[in-house]
Chains A and B, each alone.
Chain A
């Protein structure tokens, strides 16, 4: 039933984009309005809520002391995960994350991890014994497409707010902090859909349902690319990817002002 409705909308979405227009009046290379609210959860070590149009995401960070990996005894790590809450979309169900949620979380994770914005060595507490693990958990609260970018913005905003819990020996002292987590870069993701042979940025849900292919590009700063992900059954030409990369740099520069 859900699919039939989206199929009916698809024709309209495609024909508009072929004329260089979008149903909500945006230009093809225009983001929806972005709203960032930081510090929404006192129990989190860092948190943020993001609205990208009517897509809503809430992200929170918890720093937990744990054992470092044997192959990197002097490094901490991050773990990014996503839950598509059933209240966000009538098609989401209760249960462990589905493939699509895992893909989004992993793409957001790579963007942050590979940018080297967080110095993993700086998360080490005692070599070989104890290091900080940053659990970055985000939740989609209303699904109107592009959870990739909304998640990326929310996770970065939350990390920018994150404080280290105070340690007493190996245990955390509740509600006391010692210093902030420092990010050397501000990595951000931009996601594009190919629809009717054209490229649009920040697809809304109706556009996601109509897309032939999807491409996400994370940039660490004004020069460095740090993660790619192509999705769905369609294809891109190298020249189209180039076009997306240029736009990703441009948009990231604007969005950084908000996080």
Chain B
């Protein structure tokens, strides 16, 4: 028999456990051009999450048999530092990291004019130094900034956010406590905001169709707020460069 647990109210009087409203993001901070050795880079803090991204390329894709004569390759590597999670992570890359790397790289393919760079590869390296739910969307948001910082021509930025359900409520940007709810549903979503095309979508948990409709609306709206912050972060760097001149 299941142990009777005290019921937690995840949303009470319109406020969540950490005091946020249902459609409120955690504080987000973005900075571009933080690594001198990378062609493009970004550092992003999203609540407790801390993400560093470096982009190298486009450069000759090696080994040669991996080259595509029609378009460039996107190689995305998502890794977590051993101390970034409550229990020390094994330093070897795990299946979770491999899967996130694959879908995140694919999410960026549509945004980049890859057909302009045949036989090349664009390497995107992501490192997570601290985490509390939503690292993959934080990473993808930062990666898109780093690509723009590298001067790689893109159709649009890619912006991502987590949306989902906890305690029966549809909420934006779940934190760890909310992700651990018994009925939790987590939906990382990434879009190209200009056309609202969805480029990354995952879901785990039980959800009804109306709940999904509500969640996707909230997610897209959240992505657009992230998009504004991304543009601001990019402008800030170039405003600084202009001043120096």
Contact = CB atoms under 8 A, between A and B. Distances in A.
A165 to B, nearest CB: 9
Nearest to B77: A94
A40 B81 CA distance: 12
A81 interface: yes
Interface in B71-102: 77, 79, 81-88, 91
Interface in A82-140: 83, 85-90, 94, 135, 137, 139
A44 B83 contact: yes
A86 B130 contact: no
Interface string A32-68: 0000000011111101000000101010111010000
Nearest to A85: B127
A143 interface: yes
Contacts of B81: 41, 58, 60, 137, 139
Nearest to A47: B83
Interface in A214-230: none
A174 B180 CA distance: 14
A175 B127 contact: no
Select the residue from B53, B77, B123, B129 with max chain A CB neighbours within 10 A.
B129
Select the residue from A56, A85, A172 with max chain B CB neighbours within 10 A.
A85
Contact of B35 (A43, A58, A137, A141): A141
Contacts of A87: 35, 37-38, 41, 52-54, 56, 125-127
Contacts of B54: 85-88
B129 A41 contact: yes
Contact of A62 (B50, B82, B131, B132): B82
Contacts of A90: 37, 56
B175 interface: no
Contacts of A10: none
A56 B37 CA distance: 11
A43 B127 contact: no
Select the residue from B50, B79, B83 with max chain A CB neighbours within 10 A.
B83
Contacts of B85: 43
B245 to A, nearest CB: 21
Contact of A135 (B88, B126, B129): B88
A41 B36 contact: no
A237 B126 CA distance: 44
B33 to A, nearest CB: 12
B125 A86 contact: yes
Given A43-B130, A142-B37, A64 B88 contact: yes
A141 B127 contact: yes
Contacts of A83: 91
Given A83-B91, A143-B37, A42 B130 contact: yes
A74 interface: no
B83 A86 contact: no
Given A42-B48, A89-B37, A62 B127 contact: no
Contact of A43 (B77, B91, B131): B131
Interface in B23-81: 35-38, 41, 48, 50, 52-54, 56, 77, 79, 81
A142 B86 contact: no
A192 to B, nearest CB: 23
B83 A62 contact: yes
11 contacts: A41-B129, A42-B132, A44-B83, A45-B83, A47-B83, A85-B79, A86-B125, A88-B35, A88-B37, A94-B125, A144-B36
Interface of A: 40-45, 47, 54, 56, 58, 60-62, 64, 81, 83, 85-90, 94, 135, 137, 139, 141-144, 172, 174-175
Given A58-B81, A81-B91, A135-B83, 15 more contacts: A40-B129, A43-B84, A44-B83, A47-B129, A85-B54, A86-B125, A87-B53, A87-B125, A89-B37, A94-B77, A137-B91, A139-B81, A139-B127, A141-B35, A142-B37
